[in-house]
Copies of this chain bind each other. A is one copy, B any other.
Amino acid sequence: MKTNAIRRDKPHPSGLDQTDRKLLRLLAERADRPYAELSKLVNLSAPAVHERVKRLRRDGVIQGVVAKLDGEKIGCPLLAFIHVTTEGWGMTRPILALQELADVEEIHTVTGDTCLILKVRSSSPASLEKLLSRIQEVEGVRATQSYVALGTYLERGPMPELPETGEPR
């Protein structure tokens, strides 16, 4: 028999222990790793990792697994952030309907000198202009201001912080 080195620790408010967090960091970076590989990295057996991932999925911590595509290579070289100021609160039905457009990637309501921030990716300036005019037409929209990305130096998803150094990576 083997003396299992089990260390229970859920010191974190999120209910995730150290191993969970490490796993999540690994998966947020690259989710197509075999459990066998992950299991070595977190010092567990493959089925144990499987079990944890299943739980994290069930609890909604892991929302899904997606392929990261290259904007330029799929024909959408133009990335822009659009600030939208509106009459009221901002998040109306026609605004929400914008998510049907393939080039709208994110929609947030925010505090600050604007109401909405949209992240969009267009195939051409003309396409971006069309999108803008479409937004301007929406009932309640006062104005828009665009920020076209010249370069993207980092783009990744949420990732739990390491132990409690509270910083690195």
Chain A contacts to B: CB under 8 angstroms? 12-14, 16, 21, 24, 27-32, 59-71, 73-76, 79, 81, 91, 96, 99-114, 117, 121, 123, 127, 145-162, 166-169
Q: Is the CB of B69 within 8 A of A158?
A: yes
Contact B99–A154 (Cβ < 8 Å): yes
* Nearest CB in chain B: distance from A106 CB, A: 5
Report B-chain residues with C-beta under 8 Å of the C-beta of A76. Answer: 158, 160-161
Chain B residues whose C-beta falls within 8 Å of the C-beta of A69 in the assembled complex: 24, 27-28, 61-63, 157-160
The CA-CA distance from A68 to B57 in the complex, in Å, is 10
Tell me how many chains of this kind the complex includes.
Answer: 2
Are the CB atoms of B68 and A64 closer together than 8 Å? yes
Chain B residues positioned under 8 Å from A149 (CB to CB): 108-110, 117
CA gap between A123 and B133 in the complex, in Å: 37
9 A-B pairs, CB-CB below 8 angstroms? A30-B66, A31-B66, A65-B68, A81-B110, A102-B160, A102-B161, A102-B169, A107-B152, A114-B147
Chain B residues contacting A101 (CB-CB under 8 Å) are 167-169
Other-chain contact of A63, B12, B59, B63, B68 (Cβ < 8 Å): B68
Docked Cα-Cα span, A107 to B138, in Å, equals 30
